[in-house]
Amino acid sequence: MLWPAHRSHVCRRGLRSISSLAQAQAKGAPVDVHPEVQDALAHGKPVVALETTIVTHGMPQPTNLDTARAVEAIVREQGAIPATMGIIRGRIKIGLHANELEHLADIQNNTGVVKVSRRDLGPALALQRDGGTTCSTTLMFAAMAGIKVFATGGLGGVHRGGQSSMDVSADLPELTRCPVGLVSAGVKSILDIGRTLEYLETLGVPVVSYSETDDFPAFYSRKSGFKSPWRVNDPIAAANILHSHHQLGLSTGALFAVPIPWEYESVGLQLQKFVEQAVEEAEQQGVHQWGKAATPWLLKRVGELTAGKSLESNVALIKNTARVGGQIALEYARLAS
């Protein structure tokens, strides 16, 4: 029996991640869209969403701000408009002004700035906090605005021991609710990469290596030892995958895993033993009790142990994902027009 139209509507509403921008704004939600982003969305121009937890909690100063600006510039060079997300005094910003980005980059050493994932959103807005958006909230704001591509360094995942600690990033289920292509250099080997891929399969999220091989990359290095179920190697094919989701009304996004450029591969292999050391130290110190502080601590510790080498690789891989993200956004805009 066919479901009455209103039933399927209710059903879809139940699954939806977040209101559309127009609906949220009609209810007076504190959301501001950068005029340049607004113009691009209104005219079907390509837009790439960017996150800010990497700015507020993922990288030290001044590399955090330098990288955020460089990544915006790379997106522009591809012909797309960057929409760097953030929360400023309890307002969602879809596209930060230059001074707002500087503000978020500046306050990371103070206590004021919060790492905001889905569960933190209501409190951060109501209490008028400043916040960096994780992949989960960046996906939500992209979906809200109708942005189809999001570029970042590393997606969160299942932490080592996550099968008992249940420390699984809110980034993963968010990919089931936001029809957005997330372009990252895979997930970091501070995580349990195998279980992260298993979980994405359970959630029904396609994982696609953006590469000449189907190796799933491990952030600092091009291979994790695991394979992606799918592989593409050009922006048109990637955009077609997103377009298929759109045509079917699928609520799921897709993960495009772009390996770090070749010249960083040998450094990446050297970094691996320090990643293992940081994970061991975290376990000894009781990482499970730290909640959302676990990932920033691990990133910082790997940076210290590698005397900044990991940071150089991190900057290189995010510039690379921004380039690919810009190209995919361009092709998607052509398909959708």
154 binding partner (options ligand PSU, Mn ion, none; Cβ < 5 to 8 Å by kind) = ligand PSU
How many CA atoms within 13 Å lie on the side-chain side of 303?
16
170 binding partner (options ligand PSU, Mn ion, none; Cβ < 5 to 8 Å by kind) = ligand PSU
Question: Applying CB under 6 A, does 259 fall inside the site for ligand PSU?
Answer: no
User: Which residues, other chains included, contact 228 with Cβ-Cβ below 8 Å and sequence gap of 6+?
Assistant: 197, 207, 208, 209, 214, 215, 216, 257
Of 38 and 64, CB closest to ligand PSU? 64
Question: Residue 32 Cβ, how far from ligand PSU at the closest point, in Å?
Answer: 21
Could you tell me which stretch among 136-144, 165-173, 193-201, 264-272 binds Mn ion (CB under 5 A)? 165-173
Question: Residue 114 Cβ, how far from ligand PSU at the closest point, in Å?
Answer: 12
d(CA 165, CA 168): 9
Binding mask 284-313 for ligand PSU (x = CB under 6 A): --------x--x---x--------------
Span between the terminal Cα atoms of the chain, in Å? 35
d(CA 226, CA 223): 7
**Alpha-carbon separation of residue 163 from 203, 217, 313 (angstroms):** 16, 22, 29
Question: Residue 107 Cβ, how far from Mn ion at the closest point, in Å?
Answer: 22
Binding mask 41-80 for ligand PSU (x = CB under 6 A): ----------x-xx---x----------------------
How many CA atoms within 13 Å lie on the side-chain side of 207?
26
| Cβ–Cβ < 8 Å for 59, 70 | no
Show which residues are catalytic: 51, 188
Binding mask 188-207 for ligand PSU (x = CB under 6 A): x-------------------
d(CA 159, CA 127): 30
Question: Residue 219: which of 196, 253, 242, 236 has the closest Cα?
Answer: 196
What are the beta bridge partners of residue 181? 149, 254
**At residue 335, what are phi and psi to the nearest 5 degrees?**
-65, -40
d(CA 139, CA 151): 10
Q: What share of the chain is helix, strand, coil (3-state, %, to 5)?
A: 55, 15, 30
Among residues 29, 65, 70, 170, the one that binds ligand PSU under rule CB under 6 A: 170
Of 155 and 329, CB closest to ligand PSU? 155
Could you tell me which stretch among 16-24, 152-160, 201-209, 264-272 binds ligand PSU (CB under 6 A)? 152-160
Question: Applying CB under 6 A, does 153 fall inside the site for ligand PSU?
Answer: yes
Longest dimension (CA), the chain: 64
Of 191 and 275, CB closest to Mn ion? 191
Among residues 100, 167, 192, 331, the one that binds Mn ion under rule CB under 5 A: 167
Map the footprint of ligand PSU across residues 109-148, applying CB under 6 A: 117, 134-135
85 binding partner (options Mn ion, ligand PSU, none; Cβ < 5 to 8 Å by kind) = none
Question: Residue 293 Cβ, how far from ligand PSU at the closest point, in Å?
Answer: 8
Map the footprint of ligand PSU across residues 214-253, applying CB under 6 A: none
Indicate the angle between helix axes 265-284 and 309-336, nearest 10 degrees.
110
Residue nearest to ligand PSU (CB): 58
# binding residues, Mn ion (CB under 5 A): 1
| Residue 168 DSSP SS3 | strand
Interaction site with ligand PSU (CB under 6 A): 51, 53-54, 58, 117, 134-135, 153-154, 156, 169-171, 188, 292, 295, 299
Interaction site with Mn ion (CB under 5 A): 167
